[in-house]
Amino acid sequence: MVFIADYGAGNLHSVNKALEFLGVKTVVSSDPAELSDYRKVLVPGVGAFGPAMESFQRSGFGEALLEHIDKGRHVLGICLGMQLLFTESHEMGVHQGLNVVEGEVKLFDAPDDKVPQIGWNSVDVTGESELFKGIDDHTFFYFVHSYYCEPCNQSDIAATTFFAGKNFCSAIEKNGIFAVQFHPEKSSDAGLQVLKNFAKC
């Protein structure tokens, strides 16, 4: 069973449909008090960091998610949901994140005609990975983003992707904390495998 956090800034319906297609039971809820009943939570997200973080904290999911992680339970952040897990973002000012992954969210330093990254790009897995089991290295996934995550600790990086002249962190694995910058629910069979792996881990 996967709990999908509805905090007002997520593409939760497409993610929910993808998990249902895989036969994974889900619950979509805007009540953070219910999170304590579940071992896995998925944090989707689209939009800007600041308003999303404000909505996440105002809804009570910020505190609930930190308690969830402290219990050793699993979380999967997708796209903006990945970025919210970081220490801070530099999107239209400086905004504090949840700080469960030390690092910053930065704008790609590239010409305006290249940003945002929209479309398919390959993902290079950095080592043993629970999230990418059964998935070939250099597999393509679907991205939509202008900002990328830069962790302080290289050991937190599960995969990288090349865009705008740099290899950026496109996936995180850290003590039950999983996150991906791409959209698995829009990434065909490989994306479904990522969701399946999270549900099984």
The C-alpha angle with vertex 79 and arms to 75 and 80, in degrees rounded to 5, equals 90
Q: Is the pLDDT score of 59 beyond 90?
A: yes
Helix spans in the chain (H): 12-21, 49-58, 61-70, 80-83, 188-200
Confirm whether 138 is a catalytic residue.
no
Instruction: Calculate mean pLDDT across residues 50-63.
Output: 94
Number of domains in the chain: 1
Q: What is the mean pLDDT of the chain?
A: 95
> Secondary structure of 20-67 in the HEC alphabet?
HHCCCCEEEECCHHHHHHCCEEEECCCCCHHHHHHHHHHCCHHHHHHH
Q: What is the pLDDT of residue 10?
A: 73
- The single residue of 91, 104, 173, 185 carrying the catalytic annotation is 185
Q: Give the pLDDT band of residue 142 (cuts 50, 70, 90).
A: very high
CATH number of 138's domain: 3.40.50.880
Confirm whether 185 is a catalytic residue.
yes
Confirm whether 183 is a catalytic residue.
yes
- The single residue of 74, 79, 91, 169 carrying the catalytic annotation is 79
Cα 58 to Cα 131: distance, rounded to the nearest angstrom: 30
Q: What is the pLDDT of residue 57?
A: 94
Cα 113 to Cα 100: distance, rounded to the nearest angstrom: 33
- The single residue of 68, 74, 145, 183 carrying the catalytic annotation is 183
Residue 52 is part of which domain span? 2-200
